[in-house]
Structure 1
C-alpha cells in the first residue's frame, strides 16, 4: 500500500511539473536568432600547399617569401615574382591560379624593406656601385633567393623563371644582370626600365607629377600604402593651386620623403638617371637567359622598357635569346581581359591568347624541355585589322637600316595633313599656351589614381579613367584654342603603319622654354551603325610629350631662343595599325597634358621644379609648315 501511494504521489508531482514547464515554455519562447551557438562549415581543401619562409640574403637580411606547391607534384619548375606590393596579395584562391594548375610551383617574395621582408627599401634600388654603396641589390637578392629555392624546395626540378609586371617587371629584368645558373627564363611585362626617358617618372624630360601619389603610397610606410585624403577632389585644381612641383611637394609634406628629394634634385637626364637605366645596363651586360619582353601598346605607365631594351639588344647582336610581344593593352591588361580598348573590340581575348599561346609554350620549352614554342622574333597585335602579326624584325619601317623608310605626313594650310610637302615659302599656325589654363589629359574632374577615390584606392576602384587615358576620345579638347588640330581628307584606301612614328616639329615661341605634345589619332566615321559608341571617335594611336629645353641634349638643357625657329624631333610609341577607308588621320599639337605632366613655366629656369610663380608666363607658339620649315609626322607606312 505504501509503495502504491508513493507511486501515485510521484506521478502527480511529474504531471504538475510538466504542466508548470509547459506554462514556462508558453511564457518564454525560444530566442529569435538564426545563428546557432555552434556550427562547423564544410572546409574545402586547397589543391596546393603553402609554405612561408624568411630566406636569408648574403648580408644577413631575410626576405619574406611565399611558396605555393601543387599537391602531389614532383620535378616541377618554379615561377617566381619579386614585388614591393605585398606578396600575400598574390595568394591564389582555393583552386590555385592558372600556373599552379599547369603544375608550376609559384613563388612570391617581398623585396627588401617592404611588408614582411627585413632591410631598407629604396625605390628601384640601383645596382651596386656609385648609386648604391651597399653590398646588395636586386641582382644579388634574386641570385640568393634562387640559390635557396633550388636547395630547399624538394618538389622542384631545379629550374626557375622570373616574371612580373611594372615594378615586378623591373625586378625580373634586374635578375638578368647576373643570372643564377638555375634561372632558365625571364618574362618582364611592361617593366619600368628607363624612368626618365619614357617610363614612370618622366617622358623626354616632362615630369609625371601625378606619380608623386605613388611615391607617397610606396615610401611613406613599410607596409600597405596609405595616402592622406586631399581637401580637393579634382587633381587638376589641386596641382594648379600648388604652382610648381616643389610647391605641391612642400604643401603635402612630400618634400620630407627621400625619393621626392632626389627627384627634385635631378630634373635632367644626368648621371643619376643614366645609372638607373636598366635597358642600358642589360645591353652592357647581356645574358643568355631566354627572355620574353612584353609590352602594352597603350600602357599608360611604362611605355618605354620592353620595346627599347629589345631594340638595343638586337642592335648589339643579342637577339638570339630575346623575343618581343606587344599587345593591345593598357598597363595591366596582359593579366586581365584583353577584349577591347576604347571603342575597338577584338574578336578574341588577346590576353588569353598571350598567356596560352605564347607565354605557356615559352615557359614549358625552357623549364620542362617541352616542345619548341616556335615564337616569332616579334609578335605585335594589328589594331586596325584585329589580329596578331608575326615579324622577324622590328620595326619594319624606320628612319634608316630598314627595308622601308618613314613617310612624312606634312602639316599644310587650313589645318590639313598631306603626304605632299607644302610649296609655301612661309606658313605657320599660332596658339597661345597659358600656364594658368593648361590642357587636361582627361576630362575633369581628374581623380588621383593612387588616392582614396582612384583606381588603386579603396573607395573608388570602379572609377578608373587612369588606365584608359591613352585611348580616351580626344574630342573633349579638340575645340580648345590652345590645341591645333590637323587632319586628312576621308581616306579612300587603307594606310598601314608598322613601327615607330617620329614627330618632326618645327616651331618658334615667344617664351624661352616650352613643351610639345603630339598625338597621332585615328578618326572614326561620323556614324557607325554596328558600333554607335565608335561614331566620330578620335582614338589616339600614339601620344607623347617632349620638353623643349632638351632639344639639343637630355643631360644639358638650354634655353629656347625666343622667336627663332627650332626643331623638336622625338619618337612616338610603337604602332601596328591600319587607318581604314572611311576614316581620317588626325594630328593634335599642344603644350600641356595636365595635371599628369607638370606645367612648363615657359621661362627657362635652371631647375624647372623650383620655378617661381612669376616664372609662369603665357607664350605664343607657332607651328611652322613651310617648304623651308616643314613640320611632319614621319610615319612607318608599309604596303
Structure 2
C-alpha cells in the first residue's frame, strides 16, 4: 500500500463534508485522544462483491472479547481513512456514547471511491430485478453485511447503518431489499434525489455548488489512498462578481476539461471530461437519468424488520428535501414499519458536533441541543434495536422536532401533527399579508440580469453555502426587485408545522423566469440582546430571520419532465412547494413573505428568454425583463393551533 497522503484538498473535503467521516468538530480531531487505540483493534479487508469487485472496508472491534457486539456500519464516498496499520480514527461511530460503550464499528469506501475497486457512479441507479452478477449499491450493502456477520468475530448478528449527507444516502440504500441482519438504519441529511437535493432545487442549478462538482465527477478506476481530483480555483474573494463576470453557464466548461490539450497540442474547447458536470449539462430536465438515480420512489421496498430513524436539520442548505421525503415515503408505504423523524435547529450535520453552543450562521438556538440528541435519542435508538428487545416500544416518539421559534423540543405521534390545519394568506397592496383576498391588482418589478438579487450580503467565496439559511433578510427587503408582504404585529403566537405551498399568480414580459419565495420571522424592534457571534453590522433589533425559502425554475411549473416557456404578459399560475417547517412566530413578531426572481449566485441566472437548455445558453439570450405578481396570489401554511 502506498504511503497515505492527506492532501490539502482532502482536508478541505473533510472540512465541508466530513460530518460524514467522523462526527466530531475540528478541535476534537486535533486532540490527542487515545480511547480508540486503547479499546479497539483495527482491521482492513477487501470484501468481494457478487460481480468480483472488491470494496475496501475498515473494521474497529472492541478489545474486550468477553461479550458479543452489534455492528454499526457507514458506507461513504468520502474515504474510510486513515489507511494503514496503526493508523486510527480519533473518534468512531455515530457518537461518543456508542463508541465508549462498545460496538463493532465499520467504515467502507463505496464502489469506485478511494481504496475500493470499480468505477464510481454518482447516485448509482438501483436495479430492482437484478440478473446474476449484476450489482448496485443495494447489493453491495447486502453482500458487505453478509460477509461481516459471517466473518467478524464476537458480533451478535445485528447490524445498524448510519451516515450524514452522502453516507446518509447509503444508509437509506441499506434498507431496500435489506439483509436479514440489518435491524436499524439512521439516514441523516440523506440525499433523496439530485434534481431536488444539493445540486438542484426544483430544477434550478445550485451554482454555488460549482466547486464541488469535480469531487464527484473526476474519473478513477484504480484504488488510491490520496485525492485524485482537484477543485476549481476562483482567484477571488467575491463569488457574486466572479459568476457575474463569467456569464453563461457554458463558460464554466473550461473548469471541467482536465486534459485541455489533445495529442496535437490544440485545446479542446467543447470537451467536458468531468462525467458529473457532463451529466448535468446534457440532462437539464427531470429525465430518465435523474429519475433512475432517485431513491425516494423505491422506499416501498423497506421491510418492516428494519427500524428507521430519519434525522435532519431545519436549516440544512444541502439536504432538506431528502430526509423529509424519505420519512414520508417510508411512512406511506410501510404501515407496519418502525419509522421515526428527528429534526432540530441545525445546518448540515451539526447534530453530530460535540459543541455546547448551537448556532446556525448568526442565529443562536440554545445550548447542548446536539449533545442531547446524541445521548438521549440516537444512542437509545441503536441500543434498543441492536442490543435490546428490538420491539416497537423503544421509548422514543414518532416525531421529535424542535420549534425554531419557541426554541424548544416537542414530541408528536405523527408528522405533521394530526391537528395541523391549512390556512391561506394573501399577498396584498401596500406590502400587506392578509387573511382575506382584498384585491386583484398587479405589482411589477424589473428583473435586471446585470444586477441579480444576492442570496447573501457577505462578500466572500464558499465551498458550499450554509449560513444564508438563517441570514438577516433586511438587505433583500430593501431592494426594489424583491417584493415584501407582511402581517401586522402578531397579537398571539402563530405556529407553522408542516409544508408550505406558495400559489403565485405571475406574468413576465419575457418567456422564462425563476420564482423564489422566502418566509421570514421579523423580530420586534425593541429586542436589545445580541447573541455572541452575531456579525458586527447586525443587531437582533428587527432581525429578519429566514425560516424557509425555495426556488422553482418557472419552465417546470407544470412538469419537471417537459418544460415550457411562459407566454409573454400572460397571467400564469406558479405553485412552489416549500419544505416543512416547525416554527412559532411569537407574539410581537411579524410574518413576512418575500418574492423575487433572482437569487445569485446561490442559483444560476435564468436568461429570462426561453432556451431548450440553459447550460448551453448564449450571452445574447440573457435579457432584463419586467415581472408581475398579482395580489390574488396566496401562501398556504400548515398551522398548529
Q: TM-score per shorter chain, which class?
A: 0.7 to 0.9
Q: Deviations over 1:18-70 (max 9, x none)?
A: xxxxxxxxxxxxxxxxxxxxxxx999952211111111111222111111112
Secondary structure at the residue paired with 2:38? coil
User: 2:252 aligned to 248, 253, 259, which one?
Assistant: 248
Aligned counterpart, 1:414: 430
Q: Using the alignment, how far apart are the partners of 2:129 and 2:301 within structure 1? A: 16
Give 1:165 shift.
Answer: 0.5
Aligned counterpart, 1:454: none
Give 1:87 shift.
Answer: 0.6
Give 1:322 shift.
Answer: 1.2
Name whichever of 610-619 and 351-360 sits farther off. Answer: 351-360
Given that 2:446 and 2:627 are in contact with CA atoms closer than 8 Å, whether structure 1 keeps it comes out as yes
Q: Using the alignment, how far apart are the partners of 1:476 and 1:376 within structure 2? A: 40
Secondary structure at the residue paired with 1:636? strand
Where in structure 2 are the equivalents of 1:279-294 lying within 5 Å? 279-283=296-300, 288-294=305-311
Aligned counterpart, 1:391: 412
Where in structure 2 are the equivalents of 1:108-507 lying within 5 Å? 108-128=107-127, 135-196=134-195, 198-220=196-218, 222=220, 223-224=226-227, 225-250=229-254, 252-253=256-257, 255-283=272-300, 288-318=305-335, 320-336=337-353, 337=355, 339-342=358-361, 344-370=363-389, 372-396=393-417, 403-422=419-438, 424=439, 426-449=440-463, 466-507=465-506
Give 1:182 shift.
Answer: 0.8
Give 1:341 shift.
Answer: 3.0
The answer as to 2:588 corresponding to 1:621 is: no
Q: Deviations over 1:429-472 (max 9, x none)?
A: 1111112211111224241316xxxxxxxxxxxxxxx2211111
Q: Name which one, 1 or 2, has greater alpha-carbon Rg.
A: 1
Q: Using the alignment, how far apart are the partners of 2:370 and 2:604 within structure 1? A: 33
Q: Using the alignment, how far apart are the partners of 2:500 and 2:92 within structure 1? A: 45
User: 2:74 aligned to 72, 81, 86, which one?
Assistant: 81
Where in structure 2 are the equivalents of 1:518-537 lying within 5 Å? 518-531=517-530, 533-537=539-543
Given that 2:500 and 2:577 are in contact with CA atoms closer than 8 Å, whether structure 1 keeps it comes out as yes
Given that 1:280 and 1:309 are in contact with CA atoms closer than 8 Å, whether structure 2 keeps it comes out as no
Q: Using the alignment, how far apart are the partners of 2:347 and 2:188 within structure 1? A: 11
In the superposition, the TM-score normalised over structure 1's length comes to 0.85
The answer as to 2:89 corresponding to 1:92 is: yes
Q: Deviations over 1:213-240 (max 9, x none)?
A: 2121233365424214223332222222
Secondary structure at the residue paired with 2:427? strand
Distance 1:543 1:42, change over 3 A: closer
Given that 1:343 and 1:534 are in contact with CA atoms closer than 8 Å, whether structure 2 keeps it comes out as no
Name whichever of 83-92 and 98-107 sits farther off. Answer: 83-92
* RMSD between superposed Cα atoms in Å: 2.5
**Structure 2 segments unaligned to the other structure (5+ residues):** 1-31, 221-225, 259-271, 532-538
Name whichever of 178-187 and 226-235 sits farther off. Answer: 226-235
Distance 1:293 1:617, change over 3 A: same
In the superposition, the TM-score normalised over structure 2's length comes to 0.85
Q: Using the alignment, how far apart are the partners of 2:395 and 2:177 within structure 1? A: 26
Secondary structure at the residue paired with 2:291? helix
Aligned length: 572
Q: Using the alignment, how far apart are the partners of 1:419 and 1:547 within structure 2? A: 28
Given that 1:512 and 1:559 are in contact with CA atoms closer than 8 Å, whether structure 2 keeps it comes out as yes
Q: Deviations over 1:463-513 (max 9, x none)?
A: xxx221111111222211111112222222111111111111111111111
Q: Deviations over 1:110-165 (max 9, x none)?
A: 11111111111111111237999982111111111111111111121111101000
Aligned counterpart, 1:546: 552
**Structure 1 segments unaligned to the other structure (5+ residues):** 1-40, 397-401, 451-465
Given that 2:189 and 2:313 are in contact with CA atoms closer than 8 Å, whether structure 1 keeps it comes out as yes
